[in-house]
Amino acid sequence: MSPTRTVELEGHIIDSGTMGRCFSLVMDLGGSFEVEEFEIGRHKHEESYCRLAVSADSEPELREIVHELHQIGATLSDPADATLERAPEDGVVPVDFYSTTNHPTAVRYEGEWLAVENVEMDCALVVEPGDSGDDAAPRAYTKVLNAVEEGDLIVTGDTGIRVDPPERPRDGENTFGFMQGGVSSERPSESLIGEIADAIAETKADGGNVLAVCGPAVVHSGGAGHLAELVREGYVDAISAGNGFAVHDIERDLYGTSLGMDVETLEHPRKGHKHHIYTISEISRQGGIEQAVENGAIQSGVMYECVTNDVPYVLAGSIRDDGPLPDTITDSIEAQNAIREQAHDADLVIMLATLLHSVAVGNCLPSTTKLVCVDINPSTVTQLMDRGSAQAIGMVSDIGTFLPMLADELADAE
């Protein structure tokens, strides 16, 4: 008799396509299934339920099938505990380690389901057994490979893991997510900016945290003043950017130029192309951004508002940086850790005209965080939207016209 396991599906599994994907997957992997129970949700908010007996020719094949079913949200009717193995040395995981998705995940440990903390893609899963002495409860959380320490209890195999991918919002219910099936510049820009303003205002009203990820084009395109306004008004709780963004934002304050062009008159003053390097040397002389603000050397702009309003920022270094500023974190692992913290704290992330920093932030986001991505390049928007957020708005637009209109919308809403 061929080995069999029973799995369950629950939720909007038909119209979300989950059930179809499960059936497909079993058949593609050479297994077969019997539908033991099937209840269909009859109306919009009713969930469906399906119980399947899945069989395969051998136990390893069945394990493979069940593993894949997990990834898309099926759960075993009769689960076992997860298997744990100790990391042999720092930065080295056991061979068969479980590599995480970015969906909400639970691990079964001593018969209990532990919700995984700090959900993030492509990490190892660490279980901390807790301590009966001081009643500390057991915990499970993700660790990036480079942070794994010798002796960490790492989950291996697929047993005892439950993944719960967010269901896509039903068509028409929600602007977020309606981008599925293509990102295009041919959509109504003003209305879309209105929806984004609403999402930011709602997040703030709910006590949520908004993270803005910013590229230098925010400054070059003349949008920095409007972003500074959003920081000052409290719509942005944290900034994630690179050295270049900060340099050009400060160049604009010191010289009125960005990349050497006057952002008001559009003229190119002589020596303008040296302004960014003069800016870096000046801030180095001052000892850093915060000191420069305190000394009165910087008097406006996004970085100025961050310092003045206690909005924390991370400036992550890159090999293309000039300088860099003393505030830039030059080690990429250290910078990722700082970005990771920002990402985990955020309820809404708004990505403004940067691919590198948006990918870095996106890598750390669970699939449940709301995402807004604005870039003039459609392939940047597509690439960022593909990262699997369940609620995402992508907009192909000019950041220099987007930001003033967004600031207007938010000011009007007050």
Residues 329-368 that bind a copy of itself (CB under 8 A): 330-333, 335-336, 339, 356-357, 359-360, 363
Closest distance between a copy of itself and the C-beta of residue 106, in Å?
20
Contact region with a copy of itself (CB under 8 A), list: 35-43, 126-134, 159-167, 297-305: 35-43
| Residue of the chain from 166, 222, 272, 394 that contacts a copy of itself (CB under 8 A) | 222
Distance separating alpha carbons of residues 314 and 409, to the nearest angstrom: 27
Report, in Å, the least distance between residue 39 CB and a copy of itself: 10
Answer yes or no whether residue 97 interacts with a copy of itself by CB under 8 A.
yes
Q: Which helix (H) or strand (E) holds 4?
A: strand 4-11
Which of 80, 277, 411, 413 contacts a copy of itself by CB under 8 A? 277
Report residue 391 as tokens.
């609620």
**Of positions 37, 132, 133, 188, contacts a copy of itself by CB under 8 A:** 188
| Among 57, 59, 202, 322, interactor with a copy of itself by CB under 8 A | 322
The reply on whether position 221 binds a copy of itself by CB under 8 A is yes
Q: Which residue lies nearer to a copy of itself by CB, 160 or 260?
A: 260
Assess 95 for contact with a copy of itself (CB under 8 A).
yes
Let me know if 117 is exposed, middle or buried by CB neighbors in 10 A (0-12, 13-18, 19+).
middle
Residue 1 engages a copy of itself in binding (rule: CB under 8 A): no
Query: For residues 141-173, b (16+ Cβ closer than 10 Å) or e, as one string?
Result: bbbbeebbeeebbbbbbbbbbbbbbbbbbeeee
Which run of H or of E encompasses 214?
Answer: strand 210-214
Report which of 303, 320, 326, 163 is spatially closest to residue 239, judged by C-alpha positions. 303
Bridging pattern class, strands 139-143 and 161-163 = unpaired
Region near a copy of itself per CB under 8 A, out of 108-116, 198-206, 280-288, 290-298: 280-288
Kindly report each contact of residues 175-180 with a partner whose C-beta sits within 8 Å and lies 24 or more positions away, as own/partner. 175/199, 175/393, 176/370, 176/391, 176/392, 176/393, 177/390, 177/391, 177/392, 178/393, 179/385, 179/392, 179/393, 179/394
Which residue's CB is nearer to a copy of itself, number 30 or number 234?
30
**Residue count at the site for a copy of itself (CB under 8 A)?**
109
Rank residues 234 and 274 by Cβ distance to a copy of itself and give the closer one: 274
Picking from 114, 96, 211, the residue whose alpha carbon sits closest to that of residue 154 is: 96
With CB under 8 A as the contact rule, which of the stretches 108-116, 130-138, 301-309, 395-403 interacts with a copy of itself? 395-403
Q: Which is nearer to a copy of itself, 6 or 377 (CB)?
A: 377
CB 103, min distance to a copy of itself, A? 14
Residue 266 contacts a copy of itself per CB under 8 A: yes
Residue 37 in the binding site for a copy of itself (CB under 8 A): no
Q: Would you say 112 or 122 has its CB closer to a copy of itself?
A: 122
Instruction: Give burial (CB, 10 Å; 0-12/13-18/19+) of 328.
Output: buried
CA distances from 250 to 299, 304, 358 (A): 9, 8, 22
Under rule CB under 8 A, which residues in 100-119 are in contact with a copy of itself? Answer: none
Q: Which amino acid is at 272?
A: G
Instruction: Kindly state the tokens that stand for 55.
Output: 């069989």
Q: Judged by CB under 8 A, does residue 86 bind a copy of itself?
A: no
Question: Does residue 217 touch a copy of itself according to CB under 8 A?
Answer: yes
